[in-house]
Amino acid sequence: MVTLTREGCRRRREVLIERSGADLLIIVNPRHIQYLSGLYITPLQLSAWAMSFLLIDGIDGTARLLVHNGLAAAAEHAHVDNVDTWTSYDFATGPGVDSYAAAIPQLRDRLARHSGTRFGIESGWFPAGPDLPATLDIAPVLQDMRRVKYPDELVLIREAMRANEAAHKAARSFIRPGITEIDMYNAIHAAITEEFGGPVLLLGDFASGDRAGEGGGPPTSRTLSSGELMILDIFPVVNGYRADNTATLAVDRRLTPRQSEVEAGLNDALTAGADALRPGGRAADVYRAVRTRLAEHGLAEGFTHHAGHGLGLGHPEAPYFVPGSDEVLRAGEVVTLEPGWYGEGTGARIERNYLLTESGPEILSSHLTTFA
């Protein structure tokens, strides 16, 4: 299993300490625990259903994990200096406890050892219970840090892209009239699991016909019919990181003249958006480039959402390609572009992921964006 590196986690902690000004940083968000320690708390296992903490000393830089016994084995492989565990339920003796509530006194006990300390906490994540006299909100610092990816993060993102490409390849070979949206989802899930070599949290939009006209949604028992389009916006979580690539497929692999027009317009808009992806550029200008090109094809009125967004541990995340965004693009960001059109009882969307570099955007996804 590919993971974040010790050096990458150490460097991110150093940057966080420097930018936060806190004496002791308390990390609760599972994504940030992974970001700073390498411990991936996947929702696909029982041990995810508890609260964990990463304590980072802002003075000497040491990092300590506090986890319940179900995560003890995984935590031993994390890139930290110490691991403390407490028992939630040992599957052999005694009843289980609320593993979220029981974690609070464990944290309180350890924080009691620190007096006169400026605590760095993540607003929105720090639990009620521990009463801290002086706190600094480090959430904005972490959100900003996450925009520019470190080399070890890019390794995981590229792994997610490869798994997603297998999903799109399987979708093209499997789609046909008479199957259901759930049939498509199952075929895609099987392909992505096989490519990854283990369980994958598969999210996305799997919407056909008139449901595609609504933009998407989870798969249903709806049967695919000839002449329809199906939106496949596939965004798996692979080792904690995301890929987010979309294709729209003609169910019977043949296009009507109108569907061909939409296909051409969306792909032209995707190219226009990619041409605007430059460090130092404004997110709003990327949106404008996409929408302007759609307007040239008569599709702008059916374009009802953002033109894309950042991608990494979360989705969507900064930068946001929307009309009012003054966010400035940075080299090292991973972003997605997703022009779409919805109307006339149907809809379509395509999407690619890019790494911003000083010399221009690098395409991370090689799946096809043609409809047939």
pLDDT reported for residue 134: 85
Mean pLDDT of the chain: 95
pLDDT reported for residue 2: 64
Residue 330 has pLDDT above 70, yes or no: yes
Query: Please, which residues have CB within 8 angstroms of residue 73's CB and are 6 or more apart in sequence?
Result: none
User: Measured in whole angstroms, how far is the alpha carbon of residue 342 from the centre of its chain?
Assistant: 25
Residue 95 has pLDDT above 90, yes or no: no
Indicate the pTM of the whole model: 0.95
pLDDT band at 1 (very low <50, low <70, confident <90, very high): low
Whether 6-145 and 151-363 share one fold: the answer is: no
CB burial of 78-99 (b: ≥16 within 10 Å; e: otherwise) equals bbbeebebbebbeeeeeeeeeb
Range 6-145: architecture per CATH: 3-Layer(aba) Sandwich (3.40)
Instruction: Give the pairing type, strands 82-86 and 63-68.
Output: parallel
pLDDT tens profile 299-324: 999 999 999 999 999 999 999 999 99
Residue range 336-363: mean pLDDT, rounded: 97
pLDDT reported for residue 92: 86
The dihedral built from the CA positions of residue 176, 181, 187 and 188, taken in this order, carries a sign that is: positive
pLDDT tens profile 197-238: 999 999 999 999 999 999 999 999 999 999 999 999 999 999
Residue 116 has pLDDT above 80, yes or no: no
Domain locations in the chain?
6-145, 151-363
For residues 250 and 260, is the Cβ–Cβ distance under 8 A?
no
Instruction: Give phi and psi for 272, each to the nearest 5.
Output: -65, -40
pLDDT band at 291 (very low <50, low <70, confident <90, very high): very high
Range name among 46-50, 80-84, 176-180 with the lowest pLDDT average: 46-50
Residue range 353-372: mean pLDDT, rounded: 96
pLDDT reported for residue 296: 98
Q: Report which listed range, 35-49, 104-118, 292-306, is most confident.
A: 292-306
Instruction: Give phi and psi for 28, each to the nearest 5.
Output: -120, -35
pLDDT tens profile 149-179: 999 999 999 999 999 999 999 999 999 999 9
pLDDT reported for residue 286: 98
User: Measured in whole angstroms, how far is the alpha carbon of residue 110 from the centre of its chain?
Assistant: 32
Range 151-363: architecture per CATH: Alpha-Beta Complex (3.90)
